[in-house]
Structure 1
């Protein structure tokens, strides 16, 4: 990324992080209540930054998990480069600043009466509702791939038991075995994620099962940072990874999880020793029940604030939202969360909304000391998000080892910084 692009990115980040709101009378905030669903990169950020803007506001965070495990860096766990617990984050830091954290699942939303029902029997009234529920899988969008099939051929696209299962299967696989990954068409959570996963699986195999192969069956012709990944695979892993694109019959249409076999559009069958199926996705179920999703399964939002384009006073961010060119990533969700917090604070205090500028940077690890990245800045234009001209930056091809090592360090530092920003760890 050029120096000017790094400057633009830094400016965009500092702008959203430092928005200041005027003091608000204690009585004005006494009856206001903001409920945030989802304690991850988006929801956790909104809760923390709302507290900074409005110290007297009642904020409730609803998150079913006692400990939140991140999808970012879960591929490093597969590679043996991260422990499982290093991905886990608790909520004591948010409680310490006066945020009520309820460990429950949101079941239903009444947007007319402005209340939300939880599976523990609670019903919470709200003035503003923030939904950051992540993604759900589109079960049976691939013939034969349902919840039961995922126990044999894990997707591991939500960090948790599925991730641990995939790691166990890799450990049990014989040397010389075949790891097959089915990759969906866009949009889905973390566009470069499958290709980083392939890299990290290859890293593990190179150390422990060097005769093994990885086959990537892709429903797309191109993917995020494609040239950089292909260059890194060749340099680090030789012929271990094979990528088959849509035009080469890479789109998987049927899964036989019991046989660890997939079938592509033109009838080609591939049998795996370990089968990782990443299915098509949609916004988390509570977004659908709130009426904020459309035919695509995602939630369209207003670019100025990430307020739902369909339901007023409900904000949707992170992976569940449809935000135009802005990708579904942890960095994006965190950045959106800061803007949503500022927008809600402005609305509750009858102030002008902040200027909406958003940023994303995505680091990917190809090898232990081999990092690559892409970054972009986005602005609201007539209710939609668009790329800011000249803002997109990507790692250079054919860079020397010191550059790749530095990118790997930047990625690690980003994860530590964003974890501290959201969860105090």
Structure 2
């Protein structure tokens, strides 16, 4: 299947966008404030402005003037994408009717329906959409704090951290050791850490073929495990060692000052250590008071509306919604359902039953791509998977190449759908 821009215009009930927004008479436009300009936030802002046909006042608040996608950033590490190809601006969103503010939201007053920004501006809203991505649990990896990310980078918020990690890998001594501390569930883009291992292995195979890779994992299994292990054995034999909880992977300590990892009580010197800690919803969700004890924000599965406040929606990684992974495709799909619901509430347009979809691609080696995905529908408790698919071990090279090329089409399509 050729994935391109049309897929995203047609996915996730975007067909409802074809319905004209009802005329709004001489009254103030309903105000929607969106916090976070990634796959969820940029998409919902764009669809509200486009399908609202000028009847909504849509404001997007994003701290960074240029957005760097975390999805596909592993391919930059492996040398398959330039850093510039991961970066996207908001000019087209602004020209499409979205008021884009480069600032950080610092407070939400849900009673007064206002958002306060670091620069002092106060934004009133009729509906608030939170799509802040993830933050990290300090202390979840003993010995590591967010302040240590300049020594042991997480590279799980794309940008300078991604560039730092690549520079560290390229500077490794011959025969050196790269270690990754993998995150516990749930975490952003479930295949993400293991695609990263594949891309690091590919880079090292070209420049440092005697290097070793340690994957220190608190989980006893992970997404696409059989596919990754098959690929590592085929393309990078003897380079990658996965250490699960039974072998000490679940009780790892790191020592940034001495570049050591402590596994099952034994310290080991490494040259690069990529620490991906436990994760929670982006901080503004907690500040707004819409997160549960889990650190994630529970939502109604048929709308992405917060269970804490009927005027607040939470999208993407930050949400606790059920079976969907915390991926860019998921956030984009959820954003269209939220946009349709908000238009229905504020403008009276038709609301269709929610449907969601997701695919996560991973590149293991040149022209060796794999994928996993599903279609989803809401039930009384959660967004539930109703049909799923996954690449199979032993697939021929032509199919794997086609899967990789499909991912390239998806990236072009989703970024056009997010940013215009």
Q: Secondary structure at the match of 1:361?
A: strand
Which residues in structure 2 correspond to 1:30-109 (within 5 Å)?
30-55=28-53, 56-109=55-108
The aligned residue for residue 119 of structure 2 is 120
Which residues in structure 2 correspond to 1:21-420 (within 5 Å)?
21-27=19-25, 30-55=28-53, 56-264=55-263, 266-351=264-349, 353-388=351-386, 391-420=387-416
Segment of structure 1 superposing worse, 146-155 or 255-264: 255-264
Residue 16 of structure 2: which of 14, 19, 24 is its match? 19
Equivalents in 2 of 1:268, 1:309: separation in Å? Answer: 45
Task: Show CA shifts across 1:324-344 (max 9, x none).
Answer: 110000110111111110111
The answer on whether the counterparts of 2:305 and 2:314 sit within 8 Å (CA) in structure 1 is: yes
Task: Show CA shifts across 1:309-334 (max 9, x none).
Answer: 11221000111111211000011011
Task: Show CA shifts across 1:46-89 (max 9, x none).
Answer: 01111222112110000010100010111111112211111000
Q: CA deviation at 1:383?
A: 4.5
Q: CA deviation at 1:352?
A: 5.6
Q: Secondary structure at the match of 2:34?
A: strand
Equivalents in 1 of 2:184, 2:21: separation in Å? Answer: 47
The answer on whether the counterparts of 1:177 and 1:212 sit within 8 Å (CA) in structure 2 is: yes
Equivalents in 1 of 2:12, 2:204: separation in Å? Answer: 43
Gaps of 5+ in 1: none
Q: CA deviation at 1:271?
A: 2.3
Equivalents in 1 of 2:368, 2:105: separation in Å? Answer: 40
Give me the TM-score of the superposition, normalised by structure 2: 0.95
1:15 to 1:146, Cα distance in 2 relative to 1, 3 A: closer
1:43 to 1:15, Cα distance in 2 relative to 1, 3 A: closer
Give me the CA root mean square deviation: 1.7
1:208 to 1:134, Cα distance in 2 relative to 1, 3 A: same
Q: Secondary structure at the match of 1:195?
A: helix
Equivalents in 1 of 2:33, 2:134: separation in Å? Answer: 19
Task: Show CA shifts across 1:198-224 (max 9, x none).
Answer: 000000001111110111010101101
The answer on whether the counterparts of 2:316 and 2:334 sit within 8 Å (CA) in structure 1 is: yes
Equivalents in 2 of 1:164, 1:173: separation in Å? Answer: 15
Q: Secondary structure at the match of 1:27?
A: coil
Give the paired residue count: 414
The answer on whether the counterparts of 1:252 and 1:262 sit within 8 Å (CA) in structure 2 is: no
Give me the TM-score of the superposition, normalised by structure 1: 0.94
Equivalents in 2 of 1:29, 1:253: separation in Å? Answer: 59
Segment of structure 1 superposing worse, 237-246 or 349-358: 349-358
The answer on whether the counterparts of 2:214 and 2:241 sit within 8 Å (CA) in structure 1 is: yes
Task: Show CA shifts across 1:404-423 (max 9, x none).
Answer: 11111011111011111111
Equivalents in 1 of 2:52, 2:118: separation in Å? Answer: 29
Q: Secondary structure at the match of 1:117?
A: strand
Gaps of 5+ in 2: none
Q: Secondary structure at the match of 1:216?
A: strand
Q: CA deviation at 1:349?
A: 2.5
Equivalents in 2 of 1:83, 1:11: separation in Å? Answer: 24
The answer on whether the counterparts of 2:12 and 2:337 sit within 8 Å (CA) in structure 1 is: no
The answer on whether the counterparts of 1:30 and 1:57 sit within 8 Å (CA) in structure 2 is: no
Q: CA deviation at 1:171?
A: 1.1
Q: Secondary structure at the match of 2:123?
A: strand
1:28 to 1:252, Cα distance in 2 relative to 1, 3 A: farther
Q: CA deviation at 1:22?
A: 4.5
1:350 to 1:383, Cα distance in 2 relative to 1, 3 A: farther
Task: Show CA shifts across 1:358-395 (max 9, x none).
Answer: 1000000001211000011111111421111xx11001
1:97 to 1:242, Cα distance in 2 relative to 1, 3 A: same
Q: Secondary structure at the match of 1:415?
A: helix
